[in-house]
Chain A
């Protein structure tokens, strides 16, 4: 039977949700509408002259080779980050879920990176792989790799993907582990008695039961890769070299804060907003059907 809490007071529930609604309105809905509004205007940085230009900003960015490149870069970057972060975290969670000595210690260490501020972790990656002073560059050079991510676009891309994925592995790990621990042991034991191998047990029992978690993390990781990786790019590559890591959210920042192009960056953020909204819709409509709750 469904349990329901009935409030006698009609106003109280609204009052209780009000803080969250206000925060959403002020920090999400209002800026989103401001971006929509700003994207059809051309305005100088000081706000002295404002002209309505319709879709001119959109026309401009879609004929801009730098922007088209940044879409391509974003797709490669986001999917790689989500794929690496989700698979690595799943592997770690399955390993940590077994009964092994010191499991708590391992778990603590794996969760730890989540507590590091994004920019701080990015700076650490930057120094580790810095071509002239980095420790890892030294090792890479020792094994014959000409490591210089400040000139080599592919190396830069690999570095920012790993740095961005590393950050979110802890987060994914937590959810996977909780999901795995929620699976009744009796299911697994029954399968084991029937002679299913560990791999078979995982793919036919654990993974399907874990699918709500996987789905949730897929949505969260995509959103993370699209929006929250700004700090990593900003601290490590600044979108370079030669625009190789110029993801859309970094370009929005760059065009606004460096280029002082209000209309253009607003138009870009509107496009990014629509991409993420449609990705989430697709995920809920098509992938969610395969999820067992």
Chain B
């Protein structure tokens, strides 16, 4: 959580912003993150920061894999790490482990004259 706040505050400061309205996170289906716990921690720890009162949004990223034997790409829903086509256990995870800040939405109220840097 402290990583999250540091990351978004750094990104917002670079833009000269003082308030972060939205943090949009991409969380993989296979990520070891409890979204309820993260939301709770966010509410508590964001107090007194640039993010206070802001919204934490979550986007779930499906677990997608590629078989290293036959090359089949597929979406996995049952957590069985074997290729649907050839049965190989040699599976590479393509997506579904993300815990990342995709984008943030900043409030420009205080720096309306500097919008040129924003786009």
Do the two chains bind? no
Binding site for A on B (CB under 8 A): none
Binding site for B on A (CB under 8 A): none
